[in-house]
Amino acid sequence: MKVYPNPTENILNVESFENVETSISYQLFDATGKVVRSENLIWHAGTNKVSLDLKNYAAGSYYLIIRKPNANGILENFSYKIQKTN
């Protein structure tokens, strides 16, 4: 899983290669712990990419939590600290 660029001014990309079609979800939290964005997605076998537009968010620290099943079907959490700049 790749999350880039970090820090970012506007667009944050999340990219992952999946062996099979899988359901993922993500939540973006602000520094106070409030969920400011969330979404459920179906990712297909192969390379998948989603771009999050953060231009309307204030500069500061955010936390991105991505949940997806591993090869055994067990849900795993991936967390990233995102720095938003202006």
Integer CA distances (angstroms), 23 to 39, 52, 76, in order: 11, 18, 12
Q: Could you list the pLDDT tens digit for every one of the 86 residues in the chain? A: 999 999 999 999 999 999 999 999 999 999 999 999 999 999 999 999 999 999 999 999 999 999 999 888 899 999 999 999 98
Domains within the chain, CATH numbers bracketed: 2-84 (2.60.40.10)
Distance CA 66, CA 84 (A): 18
Residue with tokens 């990309």: 13
Please, are residues 13 and 3 in contact by the beta-carbon 8 Å criterion? yes
